[in-house]
Amino acid sequence: MEPIPYLSGEGSPEPRDTLICLHCSASSGRQWKALADSLADDLTVLTPDLLGYVERTPWPVGAALSLDDEVEHLAPLITAQAGRIHLLGHSYGGAVALQIALRWPDRIKSLTLYEPVRFRLLLDRPALTPLAYDVIRLARSVQRLAGPAPADAAARFVDYWSGDGAWAQTSPARRQALALRMPKVGAEFSAALEDSAQEADYARLRMPVRLLGGDRSPAPVRMILERLAHLLPNAERVTLAGLGHMGPVQSPERIALALPSIVREAGRDADDEGDGTGEPIGKAMPDLHASSAHASPKALPAVHPAVRAARWIEARAGLLTIAVAVIAIVSSPLWIDVPLATMAAADTQRPQPEAAVMRSTAARPQPNGGLALAPRPADVQRVTAVRRDDRQAEPVATF
């Protein structure tokens, strides 16, 4: 009798890599549908709902929550995977992804984090306490209003992350859905502010980490990325031009393109992996920083004092890199006007780029620990004209 390959191991294929995508607050796993569809040929893509989003019943007002509770909820999914596991997390989902990596550092092969809200990192540095207080004021407001006036809580929450006026442009159905989720969002603020991870814990995470963020996001989450870039041994920082905190929802194809090579090359044939000529998975869309010359000086908000103080030393080390980048863009024939992924009402609320830096998909390490992304010839050919994202996604602001 011929052996059954699945039972005997003879002829059984290597398990596919699994990418687990964790959504932001007040959302669900459905936010990843477009990205998951673009990656499904090469990876097993799972998009689970976090605690409180699976059940139909609302989260109890004032109920306690920790990041470890979220990990326990996802533990069966993590332990059931036979192949390599990669994590992609957005905002609160990014905070949970980091907690999973801290629990099972040997099981997680890579981390991609878009502005993870590990707010505790702001409380550990006195120079960053003004940024922490911004978050704490928002958290207390949401928690106080979540029970008696959930719509008011949702309005403050949405306008903080997407800019003043975002709530006014949200449809009534979406407003109602967001208001119902405010008790869970209030609990998530507490979980993110009260986590107990120490700097030494982050230092033990040896897997490759890609830290993604938009250049129009609020100052607290941008500073958290800087802190993580310093603490994580194998972290690369990539800034996506023109995006805000809701970048993964508004431009999923750019997030797919920004995934690290260990994820983008998963599922390729061995012959393709060695020559580096294979096309990356995900819709090709080169990432370009818009020149600050496109914005009026009056539209540029002042850099938060805490951010300016924390960047002072790094700025000295990075002057040469910035100068080279500016010269490269000035001399380049490729000028692309990157549209804002956030609404026009948020234009004056988000920081503009401090230097014109062109980024695409081929990563090149820099002396200051950042990442310069040089365009491939194929990319240049694809963008000979202005490209705009014409989708009119309804403004959604979660973390």
CA distances from 395 to 26, 115, 116 (A): 13, 18, 20
**Quick one: pLDDT at residue 328?**
42
**Quick one: pLDDT at residue 308?**
52
pLDDT > 50? residue 66: yes
- Band (123; pLDDT cuts 50, 70, 90): very high
Lowest mean pLDDT among 46-50, 146-150, 351-355: 351-355
Of the two residues 279 and 48, the one the predictor is more confident about is 48
pLDDT > 70? residue 276: no
- Are 233 and 226 in contact by the 8 Å Cβ rule? The answer is no
**Quick one: pLDDT at residue 295?**
33
Token pair, residue 245, equals: 């905190």
At 206, is the secondary structure helix, strand, or coil?
Answer: coil
- Are 312 and 220 in contact by the 8 Å Cβ rule? The answer is no
pLDDT > 60? residue 344: no
CA distances from 328 to 135, 187, 372 (A): 37, 46, 12
The string of DSSP letters for 267-301 reads T--HHHHHHS-SPPSS-----BPPPGGGS-GGGSP
- pLDDT tens figures, 219-265: 999 999 999 999 999 999 999 999 999 999 999 999 999 999 999 88
- Are 243 and 214 in contact by the 8 Å Cβ rule? The answer is yes
Q: What is the mean pLDDT of residues 65-88?
A: 96
Lowest mean pLDDT among 4-18, 39-53, 93-107, 380-394: 380-394
Token pair, residue 233, equals: 């041994």
Residue 103 carries which side chain, given as an amino acid letter? R
Q: What is the CA radius of gyration of the chain?
A: 21
What is the side-by-side order of every strand in the sheet holding 44-46? Answer: 44-46, 18-22, 85-90, 108-114, 209-214, 235-240
**Quick one: pLDDT at residue 54?**
84
- If one counts every other C-beta atom within 10 angstroms of the C-beta of residue 360, the result is 21
Highest mean pLDDT among 206-215, 274-283, 345-354, 364-373: 206-215
The greatest distance separating any two alpha carbons of the chain, rounded to the nearest whole angstrom, comes to 80
pLDDT > 90? residue 127: yes
pLDDT > 90? residue 339: no
All domains of the chain in start order, with CATH: 1-118+193-399 (3.40.50.1820)
pTM of the entire structure? 0.69
Enter the DSSP assignment of 288.
B
**Quick one: pLDDT at residue 112?**
98
